[in-house]
Amino acid sequence: MPRFLTRRGFSLIEVLIVIGIIGILIALLLPVLNAARRSARATACLANLHQWGEAYHAYLSGNDGKSFVLGTFPSRLDKGNNPLMWWEILQPYEGEMKQSLLCPEATEEANMVPRNAFEAWGPERFWDTPTKIRGPYVGSYGFNGWLYREAVTPKEAIRLPTTESSRVPVIVDSADDDLYPEDTDPPLIYQWPNKGGGMRWAAMKRHKDGVNALFLDGHAEQVFVPGLWKLKWSETFQPRDVKIEE
């Protein structure tokens, strides 16, 4: 007589073991996936900065190698005649301005000043006249304010340095739209409410332990927070070693 075979199902213990193994694998893979996503966003951020670098150098080529000249801001923003901001000046050279103004790690607006490193500043509005407003603008990058100035005539524009251009930051991940670092600024990680001078806007850990920066020679790279004090932000900035205070 043929023997009939019976198939035994999984026991409860076996099912629990399989579920446990799957859970362990997910727990091991999630940090790897998150790290890969963050790495991809950091790479996209560097691509944005490269685009701004091309736009900035195109502007310089058409302006005798001189940086921006901004008009004087009125005492109240709602009086009108606000000067163009750096991203507006570069817009003719950067068609995707509003998109490339946002770091992929910081796209959500934070109502003017970000409360943490992963928020964007803005929305910002500027008045052409008391009834005509430009904007709103939201962004994640700041311009090195020492490379341009408020002035009335183009004769006052800054001619950029020709030496050490690989150490002169132009645009960086920032909690504000421009920044004026001093070598005397205390080495503090960005936090809100914040203290610590112009460097505070860039001293944050948006990409691992630092920020991405575009330099005057056109290259972009990640800079660890202590390294921000070793760059050449201005002619008077004296690079130094610092120990970061959390």
Q: Which of 150, 145, 151, 203 is nearest to 178 (CA)?
A: 145
- List the beta bridge partners of residue 112: 122
pTM of this structure? 0.83
CA distance 148 to 142: 13
Annotated domain spans of the chain: 27-230
Q: For residue range 1-37, what is the model confidence (pLDDT) as tens digits?
A: 555 555 566 677 777 888 888 888 878 777 767 777 8
> pLDDT at position 75, please?
58
Confidence of residue 156 (pLDDT cuts 50, 70, 90): low
> pLDDT at position 6, please?
56
> pLDDT at position 205, please?
95
Confidence of residue 87 (pLDDT cuts 50, 70, 90): very high
